[in-house]
Amino acid sequence: MNEKLNEGLKKLGLEFSQNQISRIETYISCVLEFNKTYNLMKADSTDELTVNHILDSLAAAPSIASFIQKIQEKKNIASLQIADIGSGGGCPGIPLAVAFPEQNFMLVERMEKRCGFLESAVCKMNLSNVKVNCIQADLIKPESFDIEVFRAFHPFDSKNTKLLLRMLKKGGILAAYKARTEKISAEMESIKFLVPSYKKIKLEVPFLEDHERNLVVVEK
């Protein structure tokens, strides 16, 4: 039993079924098995992976839930198209897909080896709401997604921001996991002509209380 995971979920106010918890545990096992081979993410132990990546990804789940509801009500649709851009080892896309099984998730990743890992992990987890797209992000057709999330894609600069906004549907929401407020302010100031306004939501990651984490939210 992963005590850090169970305690972290409680701290985040997330009620996962045993099936959801089992899927997360399967994902953790997959990452730890292939991490050194594919350089998926910085984590050497179950606890480190659980806290720094799984719980970090899920810290935004309450905010993502509110975004989903907002778009559902506005567009009168039940299932949204949500993309994890530059998914890498699968965070935050896979943990969020477990949290929101009724939504459609796409993991966008350009490296074939990592795509192979993602497809294998999704299969072992039996995640029917997740698809892996092994493609350069700039080759994705415009206005494909209702919500885009990313943790380690790229900084907000003119080129990347234009790309992210191009893939987003009108009325869609971009949610970027970021760290220090000072760096966020500098990045967003540099693209003010593209993104005149944004929201910054402070994230509380269980067991990482001393680390500043924020969610930068942009609406199209």
DSSP letter for each residue of 71-124: HHHHHT-SS-EEEEET-TTTTTHHHHHHH-TTSEEEEEE--HHHHHHHHHHHHH
For helices 3-12 and 18-38, angle between their N-to-C axes, nearest 10 degrees:
120
Name the residue type at position 76.
N
CB atoms within 10 A of CB 65: 15
* Nearest-angstrom CA–CA distance, 187 and 152: 14
Residue 64 and residue 96 in contact, taking contact as beta carbons nearer than 8 Å: yes
The binding site comprises 86, 151
User: To which residue do tokens 């600069």 refer?
Assistant: 157
User: To which residue do tokens 């919500």 refer?
Assistant: 147
Residues facing 215 on adjacent strands? 177, 201
* Nearest-angstrom CA–CA distance, 107 and 92: 9
Is 217 in a helix, a strand, or coil?
A: strand
Which of these, 170, 190, 185, 194, lies nearest to 216 by C-alpha position? 185
The binding site for S-adenosyl-L-methionine comprises 86, 151
